[in-house]
Amino acid sequence: MPRYFESSPLSLGIHLTPEEEFLSLSISHKTALNHKRLVDLYHQLGDQYAFLLSERNSITCIVAQSLIWSNLSLGSSWLDRLASNESLISEFMSELDSVAELFAVHDIPLIALKNSGIARGIYPNYGCSPMGDLDVLIPQDNFIQAHNLLIENEFQFIYRSQHEIASLDYALETGGSEYRKILPSGSVLWFELQCRSVSGRWIRPHQEPKSEELFSRSLKVQGSHVRILSPVDNLIQVCLHTAKHSYVRSPGFRLHTDVDRIVRGCTIDWHLFLKRVNSLNVRTATFFSLIFASDLLGTPVPQSVLRSLRPNILKLHVIRLWLMKVGLFEPNSPKWNRFT
């Protein structure tokens, strides 16, 4: 049996190359940045190669901000990525507030999920909060009414995937729908309306937290009609979302910042967290989300929590080898074919 299970049972024993260490350090929480090591690696790799690595991993704006916090003077390529993302996400958040206000007029509560909620209520640094869409959760009973309100307000009912059908029956069956809107800047916003908090191949419907319970425990964002999940629910949700993306599929690597920012930005009742994870029977999915954040970003997850969730040695070994084989980084590169 590999030695990393013997000497460090609460770590996957990931051995990072200088390139991978640079990427991991770069997306660490702003309160936990190792500035000296980050700057050393930046100079070792060179500006051009560091920028290329960041681009390939879709984290250039986060890396740029971390390097600025480390007192480095950056060129226009970096600064442009940071500024454009800050402008885009500011526009996204404005639209999120507008939709939440529109829904509130009709007594439809709205929870911003994943990085949408994190950016709006926990880690409001829009420049280093890249996202490709907005995900919101509403009660299933309000789904059709919310759909109609979006259509009346310049949202086009259309899916990004050619394999999905833009019909209300299909949306109700799958628990979600997608919309596209052209924003005043000309940017495209993809908006996901959901009545299921998580969906995906690794997560079965009965394993998801019940939406009614999530709403009853949700928190209001000050100065907005937007709500976010309670800290424990939020952490479980992003753990399951990372698992839905198989931990490494696009946007892959940067998804681990969701776990990190919630753990560092909120007070987590870990006893309650374990209780809910066990009740949902999502121990293995949650363990890998937490252990990757812990190993790659230094996320302060209690070892007792990791020990409680850790799967058996064989399962841990097989899944670890499987994920290491396809690679933790380069999320836009091919990972698996449809069969695997």
**H or E segment to which residue 84 belongs:** helix 76-105
- pTM across the whole model: 0.91
Other Cβ atoms within 10 Å of 120 Cβ, number: 24
- Give all strands (DSSP E) within the chain, no chain letters: 111-112, 134-137, 156-157, 176-182, 188-194, 219-220, 227-228
Give the pLDDT confidence score for residue 4 in this predicted structure: 36
| Backbone phi, psi, residue 57, to 5° | -105, 10
Note the pLDDT of residue 267: 97
7 within 8 A of 19, measured Cβ to Cβ: no
Give yes or no for a cis peptide into 311 (omega within 30° of 0).
Answer: no
At position 195, the amino acid (one-letter code) is C
Q: In this structure, are strands 134-137 and 219-220 parallel, antiparallel, or unpaired? A: unpaired
CA distances from 7 to 10, 11, 13, 69 (A): 9, 9, 9, 35
Predicted pLDDT at 7? 39
Averages of pLDDT over runs of 10 residues in the chain (340 residues) are 43 90 96 96 98 96 97 97 97 98 98 96 94 94 96 95 85 91 96 80 62 93 96 95 85 90 97 96 94 95 96 89 84 69
Find, among 195, 194, 160, 162, the residue nearest to 180 by Cα. Answer: 160
pLDDT for position 2: 38
How is residue 27 written in tokens?
């997306």
Residues 80 and 60: their CA atoms lie apart, in Å, by 10
Asked if 123 and 265 count as a contact pair (C-beta separation under 8 A), the reply is yes
User: Exposed/middle/buried for 261, CB within 10 Å: 0-12, 13-18, 19+?
Assistant: buried
Residue 1, pLDDT score = 33
